[in-house]
Amino acid sequence: MNTVLSRANSLFAFSLSVMAALTFGCFITTAFKDRSVPVDISVTKVMLKNVDDFTGPREKSDLGFVYFDVTADLHPIFDWNVKQLFLYLSAEYSTKSNALNQVVLWDKIVLRGDNTKLNLKEMKSKYFFFDDGNGLRANKNITLTLSWNVVPNAGILPLITGSGHISVPFPDTYETARSY
Amino acid sequence: MLSVFNSVPTHMDYKGQKLAEQIFQGIILVSAVIGFIYGLIIEQFGWTVYIVLAGFGISCLLTLPPWPMYRRNPLNWQPVIPESSGETREKPQENMKKKKHK
């Protein structure tokens, strides 16, 4: 503390320690919060095609097309320890070959300060809904859920599934595949 | 170059050092508490960081330069002991230097 540099050093070290303690406080105030909100998903249209799966050396595979509406209010999730949300819509179903299949159909990033009211109509899926065989045809229980990653300032990166899902049956017949 | 910097007096006396440390710790802790509460209320952690940085800047201004309030209790040096004529030329100079530096 006798010279400018030694004072600057102790001042800087003390400030850093205080900042670290504050960051931990920010984490601890939000660590036990429930970040699940109700989500309303509805499916407006389902199409099923049987096309060549270009992602692997397989024969023809089932390709589903799902058009959906999503309504949710994400505002309760945001607080001072949330930078952004990564939302994704996934389809879960079981086939003869696999007890659980999970396919991500669509995703969206909601930044802090963005509109938190989700009201999406007639959305097309962003990614191909390929099954690794013919498990989609006449599958009566394909469940769509919306989940999200909470990206925090400090702390853990929780993975949360919204309450509210929908199960849709897929058709028994293929549409004639012209293009996909 | 370095001697120019070394000749600038930056010292504080012992009580001044203690006072400086108490001042910057107090300022930063108070700004941390204010920033934490303010950030919690407006739900913006960025403002907590800004307020702590403001406290850091204020305490830099208050405690880094050797303001007169940190130099009120100078050490009482013993008076120069007169010695043989050969060393009297150097000793007082050294003492003066010491006083300037510490």
Each domain of chain A, given as residue ranges in start order, spans 1-32, 34-168
CA separation for the pair A63, A52 (Å, rounded):
9
Say yes or no to pLDDT of B22 above 50.
yes
pTM metric for this prediction: 0.75
Interface of A with B in 77-106 (CB under 8 A): 78-81
Q: What's chain B's average pLDDT?
A: 82
Q: Sorting pLDDT into bands at 50, 70 and 90, what band is B55?
A: very high
pLDDT score of B21 more than 60: yes
Show the domain range for B49: 12-73
Contact yes or no for B32 and A18 at CB 8 A: yes
Q: Are A161 and A147 in contact (CB under 8 A)?
A: yes
Are the CB atoms for A41 and A144 separated by under 8 Å?
A: yes
Torsional sign, CA B69, B71, B75, B81: negative
CA distance A4 to chain B (A): 6
Query: Is the pLDDT higher at B47 or at B10?
Result: B47
Per the CB < 8 A criterion, the answer to whether B29 and B59 are in contact is no
Q: How confident is the model at residue B23 (pLDDT cuts 50, 70, 90)?
A: very high
In this prediction, the answer to ipTM > 0.85 reads no
Predicted confidence at residue A53, as pLDDT, reads 78
B55 lies in a domain?
A: yes
Q: Collect the ranges in chain A with pLDDT lower than 70.
A: 56-58, 177-180
Cα separation, A76 vs A146, whole angstroms:
16
Dump pLDDT digits (tens) for A30-72. 999 889 999 999 999 898 888 887 776 667 888 899 999 999 9
pLDDT tens track for B85-97: 655 455 555 555 5
- For residue B96, is it within any domain? no
- Is residue A90 helix, strand or coil? strand
Q: Is residue B85 part of a domain?
A: no
Domain A34-168, architecture per CATH: Sandwich (2.60)
Question: How much is the pLDDT for A59?
Answer: 77
Question: For chain B, what is the radius of gyration of the CA atoms?
Answer: 21
Does the beta carbon of A8 lie under 8 angstroms from any beta carbon of chain B?
Answer: yes
pLDDT > 50? residue B102: no
Q: A4-30 and B14-42 helices cross at what angle (nearest 10)?
A: 30
Asked whether residue B88 is assigned to any structural domain, the reply reads no
Is A3 in Cβ contact with B10 (below 8 Å)?
Answer: yes
Our count of domains for chain B comes to 1
Comparing CA positions, the residue from A178, A145, A141 lying closest to residue A51 is: A178
Q: What is the rounded distance in angstroms from the CA atom of residue A5 to the CA atom of residue A1?
A: 8
Q: What is the pLDDT of residue B13?
A: 87
Strand, coil or helix: what is B31? helix
Residue B10: which of A4, A78, A153 has the nearest Cβ?
Answer: A4
H or E stretch at A35:
none
Q: What does the block give as tokens for A3?
A: 């010279």
Cβ–Cβ gap B45/A21 under 8 Å: no
- Quote the pLDDT of residue A72: 92
Report yes or no: B59 at the A interface, CB cutoff 8 Å: yes
Asked if the Cβ–Cβ distance from A8 to B48 is below 8 Å, we say no
